Structure 1
Amino acid sequence: MTIYDVAAQSGVSISTVSLAFNNPGRVRPETLHRILDVAERLGFQRRAEAVSRAKRSHSRVGVLAPFTSYTSFALRLNGVLSGFARSPVDVVVYDHSSAAASDSPLLASLPLSGALDGLIIMGLPIADEVAERLARQRLNVVLVETERRDFSSVCVDNVGGGESVARHLLAKGHRRVAYLGEEQVSHLYRSPSEERFEGFTRELRRGGLAEADIIKLIVPHSVDGAMRAARELFDLPDRPTALFAYDDALASGVLRAAAQRGLSVPGDIAVVGFDDLDLAGALGLTTVRVPFAESGSAAAELLTAQVLHPEHSARQVSLQLALVQRETA
């Protein structure tokens, strides 16, 4: 089967089929899905990729994540590279604009490219249609920070992390608190931000706080967005005495806004982040440490085991988190 056959049966031009495989983001979603369905049904594989795959003597693994949007995924990638350091594996990196979105044209087309022996997908929800295509193509896949029963995955206990922050703030005597969450494009899946808020509020209510004592604000993932939200909170007549931010970047915006208002931290407002990146140590930020490198190396191990033993069922690995107490709370 050739690109001409795919184009003819899809009712599109050859150039559109080429775009679907080489630059899927430039093809309308409905057209892209039609082309991919036809290509899969015909068993089409791009000739150059087929020849390349036949010639190479080692494996090629893809890693798809929102690298340019979140520093934490670069740390996970370091763990992946460490996990494959002693194996004859080429690692190909694919960037995705946002972990808040639920659709990735690139992810939809990768299973049919024939370029990969395995794929690690980090922080991106997998639509049912894409999951089914991955399964039909028998591409070895491991998920990081998202879960599906039919795929192996590596996750952290975001709910438990939120609970640990709540216990810390309750022990410090805080009775009116706020949560600064990340804005997301799709609500078709439970994001880490939602999971952290779930654990946070559940533990606060166990500690006796009413719903009115817990303020939730959703902001874009940016320092400026966090600063604007923090200023809104500071202007409240009964402002919270503590704030838990989705991650360290948002927490840094809160600290900046507090400094601009002349508020002391933690005297006037206690601030807690999440991730424990280098930024947190520099700011003296109380935060939750996430084992980023370990999650990447664990994903590499799972994928290697899956390639060697495809008959084994999917495995789920959960990594524990730890609260790191510093000056801000």
Structure 2
Amino acid sequence: MTDKITIYDVAARAGVSISTVSLVLNSPTRVRQATRERVLVAADELGFVPKADAVTRARKGVGRIGVIAPFSSYPSFSRRLGGVLTAIGAEALEVVVFDQPSAASAASPLLSSLPITRRLDGLIIMGVPLEESVVERLRAQRLPTVVIDSPRPRFEAVVTDDEAGGELVARHLLHRGHRRLGYMGEAQRSHAYVSPSESRLAGFRRVVGAGLPDEAVRLVPHDVAQARAATHELLDLADPPTAIFAHDDILAGGVLAAARDRGLAVPDGLAVVGFDDSDLAQALDLTTVRQPFEESGRLALRALLDQMQGSPTARRTTVLDLDLVVRATT
């Protein structure tokens, strides 16, 4: 019986102390990844359920769902969360928000331990790539889960077509007469998954072809200053781009700052396009690709409730449309 498995059994199986097991369950970021994974694998193999969780799992439900996303790094996820909260309406549900600082890495201590350490009826994962071990753990724990923007075949997902967004931007810039183009993308810590930045670049490149040479692509951390410095590198090329597509509005802000440094008029000296249609894009009068953030949150919550209520559903992926919003920077 799984409820007879104790923390001592997990510690013995993993070859660690019970204090280490406790840290993995309660403060996973304080434990090295290799040790943390060994403890979690031992817990999975033994079917361990923390005592408090065993009590709640014996009930019908606890009226609580979790939402995990890189909220502190990407303000756009707050809009998705707003869609979730709007969709809850009169539902008697508490929403617990977990911040995953980076969307650039698949390694997530919090997400790795979340299925067996949090008392939740369901989980929405936004923009956080999933390692296979996490997928297996979520499935084994039978925790209803919906993902946004990081689709996996075994989970229901709500996504935007990032490649189509890149194609939209490419066609727009070609129509404006640009033939030398640049791309300012977000660097990834892992290539075990295809990131939105990589997908947007793929769509952009598919349309512009030779108009985007390798030296005109820069991948930087999600930071305005880094994008600004990398834009200066692009503008120093022998044949500098006349237009730059940025992975999102934050990086586009860095591109615009570099153009200002050079005294380049926008869009005549340099055209700039972002992605997201954030408040920043509106303030900068930035041409950008609009994502239906709130709609993605509403659809994800609806799909999660269907799972929690036992409604049979295929593990489908819902793809949302994107729109190009043309403003002063092109």
TM-score bracket relative to the smaller structure: over 0.9
Alignment partner, residue 267 of structure 1: 268
Give the drift of 1:216.
0.8
Query: Which has the larger displacement, 287-296 or 127-136?
Result: 127-136
Matched ranges for 1:73-84 at <5 A: 73-84=77-88
Matches of 1:226 and 1:85, distance apart in 2: 40
Matched ranges for 1:129-168 at <5 A: 129-168=133-172
CA contact (8 A) 1:50 1:114 kept: no
Give the drift of 1:34.
2.0
Give 2:205's match in structure 1, choosing from 201, 205, 214: 201
Q: Mark the CA change 1:185 to 1:138 in structure 2 (over 3 Å): closer, same or farther.
A: same
Matches of 1:239 and 1:323, distance apart in 2: 25
CA contact (8 A) 1:177 1:213 kept: no
Query: Which has the larger displacement, 53-62 or 67-76?
Result: 53-62
Give the drift of 1:32.
1.5
Matches of 1:38 and 1:315, distance apart in 2: 32
Matched ranges for 1:236-315 at <5 A: 236-309=237-310, 311-315=312-316
Matches of 1:278 and 1:284, distance apart in 2: 10
CA contact (8 A) 1:53 1:114 kept: no
Runs (4+) off by over 6 Å: none
* Alpha-carbon displacement from aligned partner over 1:283-306 (angstroms, at most 9, x marks no partner): 110000011111111110110111
Matches of 2:315 and 2:215, distance apart in 1: 38
5+ residue gaps, structure 1: none
Instruction: Please give the TM-score of this superposition, normalised by the length of structure 1.
Output: 0.94
Identity of counterpart residues, as a percentage?
53
- Cα RMSD for the two superposed structures: 1.7
Alignment partner, residue 68 of structure 1: 72
Alignment partner, residue 229 of structure 1: 230
Query: Which has the larger displacement, 30-39 or 315-324?
Result: 30-39
Q: Mark the CA change 1:117 to 1:192 in structure 2 (over 3 Å): closer, same or farther.
A: same
Give the drift of 1:178.
0.3
* Alpha-carbon displacement from aligned partner over 1:232-283 (angstroms, at most 9, x marks no partner): 1222232111010000001111111111211100010000000000111111
Matches of 2:263 and 2:96, distance apart in 1: 47
Matches of 1:168 and 1:55, distance apart in 2: 55
Instruction: Please give the TM-score of this superposition, normalised by the length of structure 2.
Output: 0.94
* Alpha-carbon displacement from aligned partner over 1:66-103 (angstroms, at most 9, x marks no partner): 11111111111111111212211111111112100011
Give the drift of 1:107.
1.0
Q: Does 1:219 align with 2:223?
A: no
Matches of 1:299 and 1:211, distance apart in 2: 36
CA contact (8 A) 1:111 1:134 kept: yes
- Name the SS of the counterpart of 1:12 in structure 2: coil
State the number of aligned residues: 326
Q: Does 1:27 align with 2:31?
A: yes
What residue identity is the alignment partner of 1:278?
D
5+ residue gaps, structure 2: none
